[in-house]
Each structure stands twice: as structure tokens, then as C-alpha cells.
Amino acid sequence: MEKGYFSLVLHAHLPYVRHPEYKSFLEEYWLFEAITETYIPIIQAFQRLTDDGVDFRMTVSMSPPLVAMLQDPLLQERYLTHITGLVELTEKEMDRTKNDPVLLRLSEMYHELFSSCKRTYADEYGLDLVSAFRTFRDAGKIDITTCGATHGFLPLMSEHPASVRAQIRIAAESHEHAFGVRPDGIWLPECGYFPGVDKYLAEEGIRYTFVDSHGVLHADPRPKYGTYAPIATPAGVAVFGRDIESSKQVWSAEEGYPGDFVYRDFYRDYTYELDYDYVKPYLGPDGFRKMLGLKYHRISGKEVALADKEFYDPDIARARAIEHAANFVFNRERQFEHLNDILGRKPFIVAPYDAELFGHWWFEGPIWLEELLKKLDEVKGPVLGATPTDFLNSGEPMQTADPHLSSWGYRGYSEVWLNSTNDYVYPHLHRASMRMTELAKTYPNAEGLRHRALNQAARELLLAQSSDWAFIMKTGTMTEYAHKRTRDHISRFTKLYESVRSNTVDEKWLSEIEWRDRIFPQIDYMVYAEDQSPQG
């Protein structure tokens, strides 16, 4: 008899980065790395589990910007060129290291990894990884949820109902366009919840979302079962709180599995140690040295310098990942036994993670994930894998409570996205939000060039609102790009606003920025005309 339900959630998101005006662009490699190290390995794990008859259930949140990039023909072709180059590079590496058994083994490992990625990408799914996730959704293995349209941090938009509504409605519509159905659930960007946002979710038929632990623990009234059962908001949306114990065991590099010394080191990439002319053909047209994924070393120890890292042993690392998966399931069994005695009911535990942790940051993560899902199937008596949709369809009652303002960022609120490094952007974002509502109300029946300009203004505002830019400004890496993206989108929006008002839209310039920022082809700017908060 099952003692509880374990719900694994992976949130897959990257900011919308697409630069057709350049032959290649450094930040596009964020997508290429994630495809190679995270998305394809997870798809391959799902396929092996399915082929082996493993009964697994989990949730994958796919943000609209990520889905748009995965379906973009330009980026698809650029990734195919990229992965083809890596296959060629590892062929050269196997020849270069043929007299060194340790490095040869690692060269062979990467050659197989990159070759299998190319086969999966090109041969099995015809460059469309969205169709791969849709296949497992249709097979009943995974639920796929959406996210904010451009991952905008909603608590800092709460003054502008139209912007909150647009982030949610356009996300739901783009999800339906990509996956054929409206989303059952949504991942609020950065788990950013504010009281009242549930009404916007209910408007779009969204049944559930997730918050960090304190969002539920500080709900009003206090939930009887804490984070071990979902609560229903005043608008009837189910909210699932993150389980602290199971989450920290994985995501923490200090206390969790990824910091184990036998696992692959992320930071030492051999691309920087090889002769420049040797790697230049694989760096893209810009020729800048960048990580290509040839990481031959393991973490080795907490205080070990990069130059002193020991070589990676994939067999030892794989065995450790399998061991860690077994340990995780064992701990959930003990946790459920303890909670059963305290709660008097079966707990529903949710463990959400960034998908990119698995494979990109934690190279062995997909192995751990695959083994975890196997073991959950083996021990499905005490621990049953489930999704939020499974819970809601069971008809179990939920306590009504209003979650607290919260996020899963540093210190749990809005500090990451509003601080001295990025606070200058918000007056511009707020003004643009008000102007977008003004435009929609002023021109409700626009046609032709003005209609196109209004839709593009909505795109530019949405892209400027991406939480990624404020996050990057705070973390201090690639900040110049984040500042430029924010400035560019606000500048384009402002020019569109002024030209729409004066009826002087430059068709040539509009066509150019439509070509650059082509996300949300079905967008309707009139979503911004509904500037009132939902009733209820």
C-alpha cells in the first residue's frame, strides 16, 4: 500500500536569444549547451524507460521562450551545425589522445554523447525536440506545463493588471499552439507568487501552480498539512509547495548530490587548453573561445584548484549516481513513514528543480533521474510517482488558503530582481506597461501597418519584462548583454509607441524588428485593453 505520493517537477527555461543579424552569437550557445547536455539526455532517458516498460509519471514545465527557440528553423539549423562540429572535434580528439588510455576513454565518451545527440536531434525527431516531449506527454508519462510568456517576474508587475494578464494568457495560448491543448498547470516565473495572481490563472483555466515552501507555510489561514498537501486559493487554483527536504538533497552543491567529488567538474573545459587553431573551426564565425563541453576532470575536492583537478572516471561517476538515486528513494520512504504517523493521511511531496541542473550543471543528473524513475516504479507500494494533475483528478479535498508573497530566489522574495544592480529598469517597464494599455484602448480595431506595429510593441514589452535580464545583472555575468537587451526592447517599444500615435510607422524598420523578434506569431495586442483586475 502506498504511503505517499512523490511529484518530480523539472522547469525548463532559457531567455529568448535569437540573432539572425549575425552569423553566430555567443549567447545562442546557452541554448546549444542545454540541448546537448540537458534536453536530449532527458529525452533519451525517457525513451529508454519507455522501451523498458517502466511506469513513470512526472511534470516538465517548458517556458514559451524555450519552446519558441526549439521550434525556430534558424536556431535548429545552427544547432545542427554546432553538434556536427562537436562530433568532428571528438573524432580529432580520439586521434590526438590515442596513446593516453585515460584521455582516450574520455574522448570516446564525448564522441558517443555528441553523436547520439545528433542522431536523436536530426534522425529521430527531425530537429523538433518539442515533438519529442509531446510524444511522452501523449504516452501518459509526463505532464507538460507552461510558464509566464517571457518569464516575467509577476510580483513586480502587480501594479499593472494588463501586463500580468498578458504574461499568463499569451503563455497559455502559445502552449496550446505548440502542444495542441491548453495547459493544466503553470510554473510562475521564479515561483513568484503574489496574492491575487490566482484570479488571472483561473481566467485561463489553469488548475494548479507551484510556490516555494514559505509561500504555503505563511498562507492565510495556516495550512493544516503544511507543504505536504496542496491548498486551494480563493480563486480555486491548487498551489503545491516545494518540499524542503527532498529538494535540498539534490539542488545544493554543498550538501546535495551534485557536489560529490567523483562527479564531473563543470568549470574546467579543455577547449581553453587546446591549441587555438585546433579548436577554431568549432568556435563559430565569431572565433571566440567558449566552452564546448570537453570537460575531462572531476570535482576532486572542495578546495582543489582548477589546475589540480583529477581526471574524470565515467564508470565511477555513473555508479555513484545510481547509488544516489537509491539513497534518494530510501529517504523518501523514511520521510513518508514519518509523515504518515504525524499527518494521518498520505503526503503529496513536490520536488521542483531547474531542468538545466540535470546534465548541464550536474553532468550525471540525467543518469540519476533515469535511475530514480526506475526505482520509484520498483517500490511503488510505499512511494508512488504522481503529478499534480493526478492529485486533482483524484478528487481529494483541499484546504482553502491564500498563499503568501514569495519566490524561490535568494531570501525568498523579490531581492534578486529588484536591487541596486537592476532597479533602474522598473520605471521604464512600468511606463511601457501603461503605454501599452493606452495603445490597446486607443486603437481597438487597428488594421494594416498599425495593427502589426501594435502587436510588435506587445512583443517588445514582453521581451523587456523577462526576469532573466534582472537576474543576470544581479549575478554579474554577461551583464553587458542583459543591459543591452533591456535597453533595446524598451527603445523599440518607445519608437513603436510614438510612431503608432503619430501614424508614422516605418514599414521597413518594422519588418526588420519583426524578423529579429518573431516570438508569439499569434499574439493579439488587445489583451492589454483588459486592464482591470479579475473579479472574484
Beta bridge partners of 144: 60
> Mean pLDDT in each 10-residue stretch from start to end of the chain (536 residues)?
88 97 91 98 98 97 98 97 97 98 98 98 98 98 98 97 98 98 98 98 98 98 97 98 91 83 96 95 89 96 95 98 96 92 91 96 97 92 89 95 97 96 98 98 97 98 98 95 98 98 97 96 96 73
Q: How far is the C-alpha of 106 from the C-alpha of 387, rounded, in Å?
A: 37
Continuous H helices in 5-63: 29-34, 40-51
Gyration radius of the chain's alpha carbons = 24
Residue carrying C-alpha cell 540573432: 19
pLDDT of residue 150: 98
* Strand 208-211 with 231-232, pairing: unpaired
Q: How far is the C-alpha of 133 from the C-alpha of 116, rounded, in Å?
A: 17
Q: Give backbone dihedrals phi and psi of 241, rounded to 5 degrees, phi first.
A: -90, 145
Cell of 362: 550536474
Q: Please name which of 190, 193, 154, 148 lies closest in space to residue 169, comparing C-alpha atoms.
A: 148
DSSP conformation class of 513: H
| Sign of the alpha-carbon dihedral angle for 99, 101, 102, 105 | positive
Q: How far is the C-alpha of 323 from the C-alpha of 453, rounded, in Å?
A: 56
pLDDT of residue 1: 60
pLDDT of residue 443: 98
Q: Please name which of 451, 492, 487 lies closest in space to residue 469, comparing C-alpha atoms.
A: 487
Q: Please give the CATH topology (third level) of the domain spanning 419-529.
A: immunoglobulin/albumin-binding domain-like (1.20.1430)
Q: Is residue 430 within 8 Å of 160, Cβ to Cβ?
A: yes
pLDDT of residue 248: 84
pLDDT of residue 353: 96
Q: How far is the C-alpha of 472 from the C-alpha of 233, rounded, in Å?
A: 32
Q: Please name which of 340, 342, 366 lies closest in space to residue 353, comparing C-alpha atoms.
A: 366
Q: How far is the C-alpha of 226 from the C-alpha of 182, rounded, in Å?
A: 29
Q: Please name which of 229, 49, 31, 246 lies closest in space to residue 142, comparing C-alpha atoms.
A: 49
Given phi > 0 = left and psi -120 to 50 = alpha, else beta, which region is 293? left
pLDDT of residue 181: 97
What single string gives the DSSP state of each residue in 452-505? HHHHHHHHHHHHHTBHHHHHHHHHTSSHHHHHHHHHHHHHHHHHHHHHHHHT--
pLDDT of residue 253: 64
Cell of 133: 516531449
pLDDT of residue 284: 86
Annotated active-site residue in 28, 33, 93, 190: 190
pLDDT of residue 383: 82
Q: Is the pTM of this model over 0.75?
A: yes
Q: Is residue 425 within 8 Å of 470, Cβ to Cβ?
A: yes
Q: Please name which of 176, 173, 218 lies closest in space to residue 193, comparing C-alpha atoms.
A: 218
pLDDT of residue 254: 74
Is residue 277 part of the annotated active site? The answer reads: no
Beta strands in 80-193 (DSSP E): 142-147, 185-187
Is residue 190 part of the annotated active site? The answer reads: yes
**Matching CATH number, 4-71+128-264+312-411, of 1.10.600.10, 3.40.50.720, 3.40.50.150, 3.20.110.10:** 3.20.110.10
User: Which residue ranges make up each domain of the chain?
Assistant: 4-71+128-264+312-411, 419-529
Q: Hey, is 40 helix, strand or coil? A: helix
Annotated active-site residue in 88, 124, 310, 354: 354
pLDDT of residue 252: 74
